[in-house]
Structure formats: C-alpha cells, structure tokens
Amino acid sequence: MKDILTAPFMTEMIRTAALMYDHGWDERNSGNISLLLDETQVGEYLDTGRVLRTFPTGFTAPGLEGRCFLVTGTGKYFKNIRYRPETDLGVVRLTRGGAAAELLWGFSDGGTVTSEFATHILSHAARLSADPDSRVILHAHPPNLLAMTFVHSLDEREFTRTLWQMCTECIMVFPDGVGVLPWMLCGTNEIGKATAARLRAARLVVWAQHGVYGAGRDLDEAFGLVETAEKGAEIYLKIAHLPRLAAITDAQLRQIEKHYGLTVREGWLD
C-alpha cells in the first residue's frame, strides 16, 4: 500500500488549501473543499474494506452512493491543513443512498466532515449532471467578492455582467456566469439545495455577505475560477466610485466569445 500523504490528490488538496489561506480567503475555520476521488486510485493507498467510523449525513444523494471524497473537516483551520492533514482532512465514502458516510482515513482527532457537507455533495450531484468530469467543489470567503455583495445588485445577470466588464479574462474563464444567492443560513440542506440548483447552470455561486462556491474538473480549475472572479470584484471595488472613461462593451465581449468559441450564458450579453 502506498503512503496516502504522497498521493497526487492529497498533495494537490493540501497545496490548494494552503494557497487559499495565503490568499486571505479562508480565515480561522472558514472555507471547505471536497474532491471526488477515483475508487481504484483510492485502493492504491487505502484498504477500502476497512471502515473506521460511520456517521449520518442528514441528506440523501442516491446517485453518489459508494463514491469516495477527500474533504476538509468541520472546525479545522485552512492555515493548519498543510501541517496536520491526517486530523484536518478525511476520506469518506457515501453509503445508504448518501444518508451515511464511512470514514476510511483521516479526522484522526475524532473530527468529522465540514459543516457544509450537504452543500458539497448536493453540488457534486448537480455539477456531475452538467459535466460528468466535474470533481471539485470548494468554498471560500474572498473579501472582494464578499464586499461586492453589499454594494452591487444581486441580480445574477447584472452581477455577472459587471464581473465580465472588469477584465477581459472574466468572460473567458466563466462564460457560464455566476449564480447569486441572497443571504441564507449556512450549514443547512436548504442552502445546499439552492446552491446546487444554481450550479447546474454555472460553476460559480456567490453567497451574498458570506462567500463563494466554485466547481471544477480539478482543484486548479475550481481555484482559478474563484481567483478570476475575485480579481474582477477587486477591480470593481477600485473603480466603482470613480468616473468611468473607458469600458468593455457588449460588442467587445461578443468578439471574445466568437474568437475563443465560448458558450456564453444565453441572454446575458446585450
């Protein structure tokens, strides 16, 4: 059996959590990441027949029965994951139609999965229905996106258009746009269902006055999505109060769409 701490999925997870912390996106115990694993790959590092603990999840996700996830733990600090992955991360397998999870590795201090586990798993199910290669859901509190939700309309089309207009890269990285949820209580199945519903159409969902969810085929893609939207929000906050002497027009956004063969969210360009 190979050492799981050397598995590419583990080293990438640790590196991403560290970068998210270093970017100022994940203060204290905020943020969470889940990565859908390939079961045969997991078998190279773990005896998948050996279940350490089983716990109820409080939701169902029948389509993900038997699937394994590497996930951050509740109450754990992203700041520390790089130093003690075996307590702050866990490998879990969904069972009983997703109503329970089996711990296969990690959470060695008796801990458990992120408080946003429902949102993560419902979001994986939603993204997989849109893209069978989707693997990652991540959540963070990036300050500029968060600040933007206090001073900008929360209309999804308007919010997305503003970000697209803030730097050329935005429409190229998220032509599918950004979903936006009004403030809702976090850690509940309700916010999980609302997030998952938006993730069917877009890989980014902003939680007003809280943070953002990003989805991707790998950690780099999900991280890069949030990074690019956060950059757009940063530019917006730098210029929102200043006179505008230049802009990226819809005609220019259409030029980008055509040149790069993008599938831009229907009806979101004028």
Least separation in angstroms between CB 31 and ligand 2HA: 5
**By CB under 6 A, is residue 31 in contact with ligand 2HA?**
yes
Q: Per DSSP, what are the bridge partners of residue 33?
A: 138
Least separation in angstroms between CB 186 and ligand 2HA: 4
CA distance 23 to 251: 33
**By CB under 6 A, is residue 32 in contact with ligand 2HA?**
yes
At residue 133, the 3 state secondary structure works out as coil
Complex with ligand 2HA: residue 147 or 186, whichever CB lies closer: 186
Q: Report the 10 Å Cβ neighbour count for 229.
A: 26
Of 57, 112, 114, 228, which one interacts with ligand 2HA (CB under 6 A)? 114
Residue nearest to ligand 2HA (CB): 30
- From ligand 2HA, Zn ion, none, which one binds at residue 34 (CB under 5 to 8 Å depending on kind)? none
CA distance 56 to 74: 15
**By CB under 6 A, is residue 186 in contact with ligand 2HA?**
yes
CA distance 150 to 171: 23
Judge whether 148 and 233 are in contact, CB under 8 Å.
Answer: yes
Complex with ligand 2HA: residue 84 or 258, whichever CB lies closer: 84
Considering only residues 154 through 213, tell me which ones interact with Zn ion, judged by CB under 5 A. Answer: 211
β-pair type (68-72, 178-181)? unpaired
Complex with ligand 2HA: residue 114 or 165, whichever CB lies closer: 114
Judge whether 221 and 239 are in contact, CB under 8 Å.
Answer: no
CA distance 130 to 69: 19
The residue ranges that bind ligand 2HA (CB under 6 A) are 29-32, 114-116, 139, 186
Task: List contacts with Zn ion (CB under 5 A).
Answer: 211
